[in-house]
Amino acid sequence: MAGNTEPLSPRARLAVTAGRAAAAVSRAAGRGSGSVIGGRVALRLDPDLLARLAQHLDVVLVSATNGKTTTTRLIAEALRAGGEVVSNALGANMPAGITSALAGGSEARFGVIEVDEKYLATVARDVTPKAIALLNLSRDQLDRAGETRMLAERWREGLTGQKAVIIANADDPLVVWAASSSPQVVWVAAGQEWRDDAWSCPACGGVLQWPGEEWMCGECGFRRPTPSWALSGEYVLDPHGSAWPIRLQLPGRANRANAATSTAVAAAFGVPPQVALERMYGVTAVAGRYDVVRHQGRELRLLLAKNPAGWLETFSLIDAPPAPVILSVNARGADGTDTSWLWDVDYSRLAGHPIRVIGDRKLDLAVRLEVAGVDFQVCADANEAVASCPPGRIESISNYTAFQDLRRVVGN
Amino acid sequence: MSNASLRVVWIYPDLLSTYGDQGNVLVVERRARQRGLEVQRTDVRSDQPVPTSGDIYLIGGGEDRPQRLAAERLLRDGGLTRAVNNGAIVFSVCAGYQILGHQFVNDLEQVSPGLGLLDVHSTRGESDRCVGDVLGDIDEQLRLPQLTGFENHQGVTHLGPTARPLARVRLGQGNGTGDGTEGAWNGTVFGTYMHGPVLARNPHIADLLIKLALDVNALPPVDDRWYEALRQERIMAATQPA
Ligand SMILES: [Zn+2]
Per-residue pLDDT tens for B168-213?
999 999 999 999 999 999 999 999 999 879 999 999 999 999 999 9
* Chain-chain contact of A142 with B22 (C-beta, under 8 angstroms): no
Within 8 A by CB and 6+ apart from B202, the residues are: B144, B145, B147, B148, B149, B194, B231
Whether A110 and A180 share a structural domain: yes
Nearest CA in chain B to A146: B63
pLDDT in tens, A284-306: 988 889 999 999 999 999 999 99
Domain identity same for A271 and A314? no
How many other C-beta atoms are found inside a 10 Å radius of the C-beta of residue B66? 24
Q: Is A362 on the interface with B (CB under 8 A)?
A: no
Please check whether residue A14 lies inside any domain of the structure: no
Q: Do B66 and A200 touch (CB under 8 A)?
A: yes
Which of A343, A355, A357, A377 best probes binding to B when mutated, by most B CB atoms within 10 angstroms?
A343
DSSP for A40-103 reads HHHHHH-TTHHHHHHTTSEEEEEE-SSSHHHHHHHHHHHHTTTS-EEE-TT---SHHHHHHHHH
Contact between residue B40 and residue B60 where contact means Cβ atoms under 8 Å apart: no
pLDDT digits 0-9 by tens, B89-116: 999 999 999 999 999 999 999 999 999 9
Q: Are strands A185-189 and A110-114 parallel, antiparallel or unpaired?
A: unpaired
Q: Is the pLDDT of residue B151 over 70?
A: yes
Confidence band of A2 (pLDDT split at 50, 70, 90): very low
Q: Which residues contact B187 (CB under 8 A, 6 or more apart)?
A: none
3-state DSSP call for residue A37?
helix
Q: Measure CB to CB from residue A344 to each of B20, B30, B200 and give the nearest one.
A: B20
- Distance, in angstroms, between A365 CA and closest chain B CA? 9
My answer on whether A106 and A210 are in the same domain is yes
pLDDT of residue B234: 93
Q: Is residue A36 pLDDT above 80, yes or no? A: no
Q: Are residues A253 and A310 in the same domain?
A: no
Q: Residue A371 and residue B26: Cβ atoms within 8 Å?
A: yes
Q: Are residues A395 and A254 in the same domain?
A: no
pLDDT at A278 over 70: yes
pLDDT of residue B168: 98
pTM across the whole model: 0.90
pLDDT higher for A104 or A154? A154
The reply to whether A333 touches chain B by the CB within 8 Å rule is no
**CA A245 to ligand 1 centroid distance, Å:** 36
- The count of structural domains within chain B is 1
pLDDT at A405: 97
Tell me the C-alpha to C-alpha distance, in Å, between residue B144 and each of A177, B139, B141, B194, B225: 46, 8, 9, 16, 17
Q: Which residues of A touch B69 (CB under 8 A)?
A: 200, 205
Predicted confidence band of residue B130 (pLDDT cuts 50, 70, 90): confident
Q: Give me ligand 1 centre to Cα A115, in Å.
A: 28
Cα A200 to averaged position of ligand 1 atoms, centre (Å)? 8
CB contact under 8 A, B230 and A205: no
Expressed in angstroms and rounded, the spacing between residue A195 Cα and the centre of ligand 1 is 16
Determine the distance separating the centroid of ligand 1 and the alpha carbon of A92, expressed in angstroms: 36
Q: Output the pLDDT for position B3.
A: 60
One domain, residues A275 and A318:
no
A214 and A303 share a domain?
no
Å from CA of B77 to ligand 1 middle? 20
Distance, CA of A134 to CA of A119 (rounded, Å)? 13
Do residues A234 and A298 share a domain? no
Q: Which of A251, A280, A309 is the last residue of a domain?
A: A280
Cβ-in-10-Å burial (0-12, 13-18, 19+) of A332 comes to middle
Total number of domains in chain A: 2
The pLDDT of residue A26 is 59
pLDDT beyond 90 at A370: yes
**Which of A247, A280, A313 delimits the end of a domain?**
A280
Mutate to test the interface with A, among B10, B14, B233 (most CBs of A within 10 A): B14
Q: Is A284 on the interface with B (CB under 8 A)?
A: no
State how far the Cα of B192 lies from the Cα of A107, in Å rounded to an integer.
58
- A89 occurs within a structural domain: yes
Which pLDDT belongs to residue A31?
52
Tell whether the torsion through CA atoms of A249, A250, A252 and A258 is positive or negative. negative
Q: Are residues A270 and A350 in the same domain?
A: no
Q: What tens digit of pLDDT does each residue of A150-191 get?
A: 899 999 999 998 999 999 999 999 999 999 999 999 999 999
In a domain, A38, yes or no: no
Q: What is the pLDDT of residue A267?
A: 98
Q: Indicate whether A351 and A319 sit together in one domain.
A: yes
Question: Any residues with CB less than 8 A from the CB of A8 and at least 6 apart, and which?
Answer: A16, A52, A53
Q: Is A368 on the interface with B (CB under 8 A)?
A: yes
pLDDT tier for residue B1 given thresholds of 50, 70 and 90: very low
Strand pairing class (B89-93; B189-192): parallel
Tell me the shortest Cα–Cα distance from A298 to chain B, in angstroms: 29
Q: Averaged over A46-72, what is the pLDDT?
A: 92
Residues A50, A86 contacting (CB under 8 angstroms): no
Q: How large is the average pLDDT for residues A47-76?
A: 94
Residues of A whose CB is below 8 A from B195: 338, 340
User: Do A121 and A155 fall into the same domain?
Assistant: yes
Average pLDDT of the residues of chain B: 94
User: What CATH number is associated with residue A171?
Assistant: 3.40.1190.10
At residue A214, the pLDDT reads: 92
Q: Which residue in A has a C-alpha nearest to residue B153's C-alpha?
A: A143
How many angstroms is it from A175 CA to the middle of ligand 1? Answer: 14
A370 contacts chain B (CB < 8 A): yes
Q: Find the domain containing B128 and state its range.
A: 5-239
State which of A280, A311, A341 marks the end of a domain: A280
A164 and A101 together in one domain: yes
The domain in which residue A131 lies consists of 47-280
For B137-147, write each residue's pLDDT tens digit.
999 999 999 99
Q: What percent of chain A has pLDDT over 90?
A: 74
Which residues are paired to A294 by β-bridges? A299
- The pLDDT, as a whole number, for residue A44 is 77
- Whether B220 has a pLDDT exceeding 80, the answer reads yes
Chain A positions in Cβ-Cβ contact with residue B18 (cut-off 8 Å): 139, 142, 147
B171: domain CATH number is 3.40.50.880
- Please say whether the beta carbons of B93 and B156 come within 8 A: no
From residue B132, give the alpha-carbon distance in Å to each of A141, B20, B60.
14, 15, 18
Q: What pLDDT, in 10s, does the model give residues A245-273?
A: 999 999 999 999 999 999 999 999 999 99
